[in-house]
Structure 1
Amino acid sequence: MDNYNLNRASWAGGLLSPLSPTFIESLEARSRDVQERTFCKWLNTKLEANGYPPMTSLVKDLSDGVRLIQLMEIMGDTSLGRYNKNPKMRVQKAENVNKALEFITSRGVKLTNIDIIDGNLKLILGMIWTLILRFTIADISEEGLSAKEGLLLWCQRKTEPYKEVDVQDFSLSWSDGLALCALIHCHRPDLIDYDKLDKQLLEVADLCDTQHPDERSVMTYVAGYFHAFSSMEQTETVSRRVEKFAELMQSVWTSRNDYERRVRELLRSMSEMRETWAAKSFAGTYADAREHATSFQNYKQTTKRSWVTEKQDVATLFGNVQTKLKTYGLREYVPPPGLSLSDVDAAWNTLLKSEAERSKAINSEIRQIKENLRRKFADLANDFERRLRIISTELMLIEGPLEEQMDQVRELQTRVPALSDSLRVVAEAEDECRAANVDENDYTVFTVEDLRFEVELLSQSITKKIAFIDNQARSHIVSRNMTNLTPAQLEQFESTFRYFDKDESNTLNQSEMAAALASLGIVYSDEDMDIIYDQLMQDYGAVTFEAFINLLVDIMEDQTSPAQLREAFRGIAADKPYVTELDLRVAHLPASTIEFLRQAMPSSEHGIGEPEYDYERWLDEVFDSQDGL
């Protein structure tokens, strides 16, 4: 109000009235000066980027048409042919200007009365503004809005988090310079410390010299930032896609190297053990035989068990690598010669034979008691181990589609309880031998502890395999149904879920879920996290892998686009240019929805004898996708 009174006093004291022709002409002249500087800078960026010297005056430098032709060749990315590069006569300048104007017109830009040769600055500025609209601003689109509205919406979104910035237009909203600084800081925070800016001193004199900035000049500046930052974001997206693929390949490469290293070590250890057994001899005493027996027993309880575990783990690792490669359509992994699972099985069978020979040699040194008990126990133990080995082998060899793999693993899981019942029978036979002081057996290398350990290991392997296949299947379903999620994202979500599933229950508690989301950059308040967790518990009974993935999909899922809506209407209308109430009812839309559409959509006339509704025109009215100059 004080400024208003001051202005009134100034006008009353003899200054220019804001409504006088002289005052308006002064404002227009100032606006032209600002536009000339801005447009000249904009054109110079095009010229200098292509090796041409910059312009200093639009009126002078454009008058002979040479610079204008150069600019059109740059913007149109094409040659305009021969022209007068050093025109001296007016007719030569006119030919150059007409050639450039004809090219502009051929690009769909309407120009009238463009007086360039005689240096009409107002018309020249209008022409350049038209070029800026056509080649810089017209291709800007944000949620289907026009170029200007889309650019304004983009500015509002980028500056929304910044205090003291409220972008409502391309004039007054930019007078203090804060909006421009916020726009830069949003994309390049390393260039500006926004919080330390002096809000009273930022007048941005190089952009505008008045408290009412020129709209066209501001739009020209901002459009340049839009294209620069959009290009930067596209580069970041491409880099991120390459990074994710590299991470996937690095993960596979690491797993392959880990598999090969562990297989080599396992094969080497088993070979050394066989050589050690072959080199040993008995001293002929019972104490020596008992010492050999004790050493051999220690091997079975420690070294062999670690090998059984390692053998199962490398088989699981190999299967996981193959499944991951197949999931992402990558080439199947073929181990180097001598390092395949069949090579491991062959070496393992050789070890078992050597182990049996070693056991038999030790047992031969010690007088056997109650041969029938030995045979009974050996038969039961060997049969049990054979059944156990068959199941383990079938588990290792499972392949094919995920659904078939799951069916096969489930079938194997149903056979485990029967093994536990059979193991009790084996344990009873072992107790009989122990009671008879029968400590050695020539007919088997297995004990109940060995078999129980392998049963537990088999149960764990089956459980882990089921969880792995289930998660892979759910990831595949999500990848197939949710096109906005990449395989790399699903891989990241799955690895995150597995990492925070500390008890391997294939579920997450509330603290684990919060930590998993936080690791993905998704943070909620404690109150919101309670609501999300309770909702998942209500919908799924637990935060399973499916619940976790669907939660992330809900968070990241895109909205339906106007093109998708148009395609949906065409599907309901059977590709007719109109839709009837019968079409809507056949599509099983709710009655309330049908009633709303009947009232909202305009009618059309095709003479079919029942009301017709023009959905195409309705969508055109709802979604304004026209780019205005």
Structure 2
Amino acid sequence: MAKESSIIKSISSNDVSIKDWADVQQKTFLRYINMKLEEQSYPRIDSLLDLSDGIVLFNLLKCLNQNLEIKPIYANPTLKIQKMENLNKFLEFLKGHEKLQIYNIGSEDIVEGNLKLILGLIWVLILNYTAIEEDSSDSSDLISKKELLLRWCQKVTSGYNGVKLKNFTTSWSDGLALCAIMSYFQPELLKYDELDPTNTEANIELALNLAGSLGISKLLDVEDLNCSKPDEKSVIAYVSLWYDKFRSMKIHNEKEKTKDLDALRIRMETFIAVISEIMNYKNEYLERIDKLADIVNRTITKLEDVDKEKIDMVAVIEARENLSTYRSGYKFHIYNEFNALRLLKSKIDLMMLEFHFEQFKEIGEKSILGVGASIKKLDLLEHDLDLFVTDFISSRKTELVHKFNRIASNADLGVSLIESEVADLPNYPQSQITELPEILDDLETLEKLVKTLKVVKNELDTFYELYNNNSSITNLEQTDQDFKLQEIEYKIKLIKNVINDKLKFIESQLAKSETIAKSLKKTLRDKDSELSDLQTYQFELIFDEFDKGQKKYLNKLEFQAALLYIYPDLKESQISEFFEVIYENSHEVLRGVRLESFLKILEIFNQPDEEEEKEENKTVKAGSRKENEDGSELLTLTSDFYLNTFKEISDGKHYITNDDLSKIELRADMIEKLGNILEQEETVEEVATNKSYNYVKFFEQNEDSVIYMNGFDSIKSAQSSPGKSLRPKRSTATLENLDNVLGELEDLDIGI
């Protein structure tokens, strides 16, 4: 550094005729070499004479082209012959491998410190390894690179007063050219119109200081430019650093713009797909609930057609047969369909809640509540008719019959109470995951009571066989008992299936994992879990979007892009590690992630940790991002999120046009689907090909919105306080009734 300082101090005159161009180049090239060496953590040098052993030149060459694999012959040369052998290898490599035109310089010139020849060699290296984009068919020799760099400078500075670039000498002496380039790329840092063109020294100093703040090494000093004719090669070396800096900045900005447009398009396509899925569920639900309501009402009418005042034995047997026909035919279908519709309604409600849409409210008999009430009425009618027929046949049953009926009635009541518990569950996952296991425990106790009922039934069958009671009435009683036992078992099984379906549907949102990496590896080995239907559908869309060429797998770059879209705050190093873990644990030949593994990863990210479980009662605001264990943010796709997407694409207008959607390159079929979802808006600017759609009305969720039509009315969803369950506590009366039923086990003297 002492020698470099002495060189700098020796150059103080503003008169180029006095200032030696070799001194300027020596200082400039020395700074350039040290800049490159420091980038790769090589030691600095104090003088160009330090190049004499060849080691620094080899290090510099690897800095200029990191793909080169070349080493000196001697790592620590001390003798002149060793240094010359190193330098000979270096020069031969440049001539033979790099095809550089190097003349009039040999290894002895460098060892002896021939400064002018050394400067010429460094100049050839600088210009050869300076990457300048070609915008035409120009050749890539040294002259053309200088011309390309000058052309780039002229293009950037065109339109700036006082700047006329004709060369790399006198055109740069007033500092205005550098200030114009800085103003073009960083207008917030430099206001060109506020400069004083006559104050050349201040202009040069301002440009150099601002460049240094942006990370551009200071190869030149103010006095090197503030002269009648600056050194051409020194100016080119310095301006090339500006080119490298601002060219990479431009490329980065263009990539970010493209990335933003792609993100907007994917968000819009996801929104359309989600709304279409909800509408499909809704239409299926409305059609099936209408058919079920008709079946239940017809069955009620048939069972009510019994005149109990004028009934005789024949009518009793006929009524009993009607009951048997109903129990063996329609009843199980009604139960199956009702529970399937209840599950479908629960899915719709969960999807609406997850996206912060207002939930549907049904009105009338052809609703889940109306059909449920009709089924309860049918159960009561069946029960009353059964009791009437039974009492008519025999005023008093044997002790075994009484015992069977008592146990069956209590078991049936227990099933009904548990059914009520399941039916009253709120559409809030945290509450369901807490209370559903408790209901399963009650069912297990109830199953013990059913085992007791089977014992009693076996005793009844034995009783009928011993006494040869083969009358038609007795046979009907036995059939009734069989149906009763099957019905209770079937209801218990059905409730279990409903509970398991509910748990399975929400388990991906409430599952726990210790750490992402540990859970990821464990899941890929032996865990068989699932995402929710909605999550799976959305992530499949995202997988297909990033699967370029429809390969059915994501390569490493596509995998990184997909995960960064869902988890924007993840680091690329983390995603790369996940990719390698998946590949190591798979048997794939291709280096890629298939859909199944991709969904498993997302399920792991969706699992809360122990701290999140303690905070499970806190409400997640609409449109927010959920933080994962490593700090990454999971995109929460709610209605507010999509509303902001529309605002961003439409530049804040209350409507969105076909032209807006074309800017994000949304496919024509997706635009057509969006037109079926949103109401068309009549605007002044509208033409035949540029339709406008009012998205604000959709997100206001009024009754005219397509998502609420065909039987659904919009209601304001109940706002629960953070941390409180949407489901009321199980009532004391219900618990006491259930305890009384389950307590039947203690009262019975029959062992299980």
Normalising by the residue count of structure 1, what TM-score does the alignment of the two structures yield? 0.48
The one of the two structures with greater contact order (alpha-carbon pairs below 8 A, sep at least 6) is: 2
